[in-house]
Structure 1
Amino acid sequence: MRKVPVGPTTAGAGLTGDRVVAAGSAARTLVAVTARALRGDDCGDLGHPGPLSRFTGAPEPVRSAAAARAAGRAALSPGQVADVDAEGVAGWFVDQYPARRWPGAVLGSPHGAAAHLAVALGVPWLPAGFEVAAHWARGAVDRPDAALDHGAALAGRLLAGNARVHVRQVHCPASRGASAGATVSLAVRWRSLPTAYARFLAEGLEPGAPVLLLHDARTWPVRDEGSGHSFQVGCPASGLDPVDFHPDAHALRQVLRSAGGDGARWTPADVTSPAAFAENGVESGFEHDAREWGGRHGHPLHRVVVPQPDALSAATADLYRRWLRRAGKTGDRLVVECGRLLDPWQVLRAGLVPYWCENATRRRVQGVEWWLAGSEPFSSVDVLPEPPGVRSPALAGLPQWLAVAGFGRRRRALDRGSARGYPVTAVPTRRATEVLRNQPYDLPVPPPLRMAEALAALRDAGAHQGLLVS
């Protein structure tokens, strides 16, 4: 088994992939949980209570200030941003997987269901980009124009040493709270297949093994002047619409008040494209390069275009249910995961059907409610709501989460540890492992899915959800 290193070292800087990729970011978490599941491990070592745990009951201004300080301390300095090596980060991702021959691979946009799908297929999942958090010394959560100026300078430093990436800056106080005024969030997306990925696939894929590319097709207004750096205010994961980030929007005023900002100071930057792919989209050059590489090496590439996260979550849950039942299991026990609260190995070990909510916004929780309402009933429903650590008018309340659990016929469980202090607490990934370890064993694990079966199931289950499988 390959030993997982701390991370690649950037030449002359000693900067590791572990240090570069933002803690708690989606790509980082999903690679970690997928790699562990493929090794037969759970996620009991992922995440520990952070420094904000002692501020749970503190007044909002105190808690927001503590969150901003913690985010600033963890972020990269401007000098470190210049030392980021995107190719080294790709190497760090692939080095987390065991050295073996794989029957395929899943690449693309971060999505919890992609991790579950990869584990069912017995293949690795690799992201098409990663997130970097950079320090903003004199930042302000209510000044997106200042965030753009600062972020453009940081992006220029990063791009100077990484010509094959695009940097999408996201200023979103609705999803990041006070930390949006202490750090700049940079979504670094590869514009071609990283050399480390190509080498990993060439050495690890079985002959003719297919590659599946997942593409988050959500759009958002963007400012992009063609320099390799683009900027967006807000994001789809906020649960709000672009219009809600207008200075006169009531939702924006609520968000800024909670994050310690002032709506009167909000001056958004002009956009050049009203509908570009949002931060989790896949660069066209990455897809083109992956397809060309697969054609040269005999590995067909299939693409799944995801219009909303709920579509892939529902289709994957339906796929798991059919897969489990074909192996002689009931497929009647559901776990609803959220954000970083997931553990694919424990799901597999217990024979559970997983449904993943991107976050705790009302839209994502409504997605699982609609899916449950149209599905064959489950005998048990366990719900793991990840507290986002911020307040927002777009968030689901605990009663809505309890309504999800209420779909269980015999067992209806909402994790109390996740609900305690919701929505302003922070819960580590290992909380999901602690909860799921209490589920009864349902072994042996079903034989791995074949890619052809998975694609057929996604076409069948996802057609009415808007999934495009090609």
Structure 2
Amino acid sequence: MGPARGSRPGLTAAGAGLAGDRVVAVGSAARVLVAAIARALRDADCADLGHVGPTSRFAGTPDPIRRAAAARTAGRVALTAGQAAEVDAGRVARWFVDQYPHGRYPGVLLGSPHGGAAHLAMALGMPWLPAGFEMTAHWPRGAVDSPRAALDHGAALAGRLLAGNPDLHVRQVHCPASRGSLAGVTVALTARWRTLPVAYRRFLAGRLAPGAPVLVLCDARTWPVHDAADGHSFQVGCPGSGLEPVDFHPDSHALRQVLRLAGGDGAHWEPPEISAPPAAAEHGVEPGLDRAVREWTARAGHPVHRLLFPGPEVLSAAVADLYRRWLRAAGKTGDRLVVECGRLLDPWQVVRAGMVPYWCENATRRNVEQVEWWLAGSEPFVSVDVLPEPPGVRSPALAGLPQWLAVAGFGRRRRALDRATARGYPVTSVPTRRATEVLRAQPYDLPTPPPLAVPDALATLRASGTPHGLLIC
């Protein structure tokens, strides 16, 4: 199979195992963020990131046909059981670092995926390295309403992965609310490093300026977990679904809605028992990796700062406030806002246009409510552009278009909801490059501000985020 659309030629590292662009799930957070930040550090936008989800062409078709089309598309890119055994996490780490331009950097961001990390990286002139990566694997004869069967199938795959990658922890997520019918044809696995990969160590040692800081971003959300085996854990649902853990209980009305929309039956739902107290959700940072970073920085003479956020909206708001102050210090207005969502972001075009970015993790009501609250408490913006990413599934937790329109309504003069993303919402998918197309139409606001100094950035983030739970230590 050739490189995924949107990948850059020549980035596949030499060595055994599958290439990184074959292993890391297409459209996953880590993959999109590294690609976007690497382009921004080259003074390039994301116009070539053209991934489209599996339901993009089936908005008007009946749900069974749309689900079948999505399953076929997902099957073409999912890993087989044999390929799971060929995954080399070290090669994946090399694939990530090899995407960044050569040269020395004033620091590095590392940790949980978050769109705000892309904008923070752009403002600081730094790369970002993910603490893990997502994969999807085939689940023959799977069923969206059978979490126990998903666990059994995932355990075999995790065993193959861990046999060749003992430095990983594999978190399996079975979430029909966020994945829809795809949760019944593929299993979702998030591999998290339990120590610093060799490629990361080399990158830090060879590409950081003397005394450059390392900033570790930690998503502190928790979720009930079933410890399936050493190195493999399982969770039903996820924070990004917009639902609570109790909503995945067999008696939940919300669960019955979710399963019906995904083509399942709530009568068959029997999740495995929770065998451990709530633990870091799938995008958390493994304690071993956090410890390894602190040990490496202590030996190498680099300061380290940890940024822990209790929810994605906390970091999103703090980064937006940071951008407004940064832009105004450079003589710009800081009065034009773009609300991004999911994969729809472009950090280079945001800075080129002199805009303030606020990133929503996805299109759930909870995330949209949070941006509304932040806007209500912020100094008004002259213009507000909104890019709601259609999730490609139906769920009772999703925001409707009227709620997104209410966000745009905070603009005093310009109130824009992108029509291309709204068309067919929520069951269509739009390419990542759609954000670039929208932002390219914004007027230029050059020159771009000089990069932020880390102490100034941390001070602003602390002042803005600490009252809302952002912890910087």
TM range, smaller chain: over 0.9
Q: Is the 8 A contact 2:346 2:435 kept in 1?
A: yes
Superposition map of 1:257-276 within 5 A: 257-276=260-279
Which piece of structure 1 moves more, 222-231 or 124-133? 222-231
- Per-residue deviation, 1:469: 0.4
Residue 149 of structure 1 corresponds to 152
Shift in alpha-carbon separation, 1:290–1:327, aligned structure 2, 3 A = same
Structure 1 counterpart of 2:420, from 408, 417, 421:
417
3-state SS of 1:99 partner: coil
2:370 counterpart of 1:367: yes
Residue 310 of structure 1 corresponds to 313
Amino acid at match of 1:165: L
Residue 5 of structure 2 corresponds to none
Structure 2 counterpart of 1:250, from 238, 249, 253:
253
2:18 counterpart of 1:8: no
User: Aligned partners of 2:64 and 2:88: how far apart in 1?
Assistant: 37
Structure 1 counterpart of 2:406, from 403, 406, 412:
403
User: Aligned partners of 2:14 and 2:233: how far apart in 1?
Assistant: 27
Structure 2 counterpart of 1:214, from 214, 217, 224:
217
Q: Is the 8 A contact 1:331 1:353 kept in 2?
A: yes
Q: Is the 8 A contact 1:5 1:96 kept in 2?
A: no
User: Aligned partners of 1:106 and 1:31: how far apart in 2?
Assistant: 11
Q: Is the 8 A contact 1:72 1:136 kept in 2?
A: no
User: Aligned partners of 1:443 and 1:50: how far apart in 2?
Assistant: 34
User: Aligned partners of 1:49 and 1:317: how far apart in 2?
Assistant: 27
RMSD, aligned CA: 1.0
Structure 2 counterpart of 1:438, from 428, 431, 441:
441
Cα deviation 1:160-214 (Å, max 9, x = unaligned): 0001010000000000011111101000000001110110111100000000000
Q: Which structure 2 segments of 5+ residues have no match?
A: 1-7
Q: Is the 8 A contact 2:172 2:190 kept in 1?
A: yes
Cα deviation 1:265-311 (Å, max 9, x = unaligned): 11101111231110000000001001111111111110000100000
- Per-residue deviation, 1:7: 2.1
- Per-residue deviation, 1:61: 1.2
Question: Percentage identity across aligned positions?
Answer: 74
Amino acid at match of 1:347: V
Residue 46 of structure 1 corresponds to 49
- Per-residue deviation, 1:4: 5.8
Q: Is the 8 A contact 2:57 2:428 kept in 1?
A: no
Runs of 4+ in 1 over 6 A off after TM superposition: none
2:339 counterpart of 1:323: no
Q: Is the 8 A contact 2:55 2:427 kept in 1?
A: no
2:335 counterpart of 1:332: yes
Amino acid at match of 1:8: A
3-state SS of 1:54 partner: coil
2:147 counterpart of 1:165: no
Residue 351 of structure 1 corresponds to 354
Structure 1 counterpart of 2:288, from 271, 280, 285:
285
2:37 counterpart of 1:34: yes
3-state SS of 1:364 partner: helix
Cα deviation 1:241-280 (Å, max 9, x = unaligned): 0010011111111111111111111110111123111000
Residue 136 of structure 1 corresponds to 139
Q: Which structure 1 segments of 5+ residues have no match?
A: none
3-state SS of 1:197 partner: helix
When the two structures are aligned, how many residues end up with a matched partner? 466
3-state SS of 1:52 partner: coil
User: Aligned partners of 1:452 and 1:60: how far apart in 2?
Assistant: 51
2:347 counterpart of 1:380: no
Q: Is the 8 A contact 1:106 1:114 kept in 2?
A: yes
Cα deviation 1:129-151 (Å, max 9, x = unaligned): 00011111111100000000000
Structure 2 counterpart of 1:205, from 205, 208, 213:
208
Residue 118 of structure 1 corresponds to 121
* TM-score, normalisation: structure 1: 0.98
- Per-residue deviation, 1:50: 4.9
User: Aligned partners of 1:54 and 1:458: how far apart in 2?
Assistant: 41
3-state SS of 1:304 partner: strand
Q: Is the 8 A contact 1:6 1:16 kept in 2?
A: no
3-state SS of 2:272 partner: coil
Amino acid at match of 2:289: F
3-state SS of 2:446 partner: coil
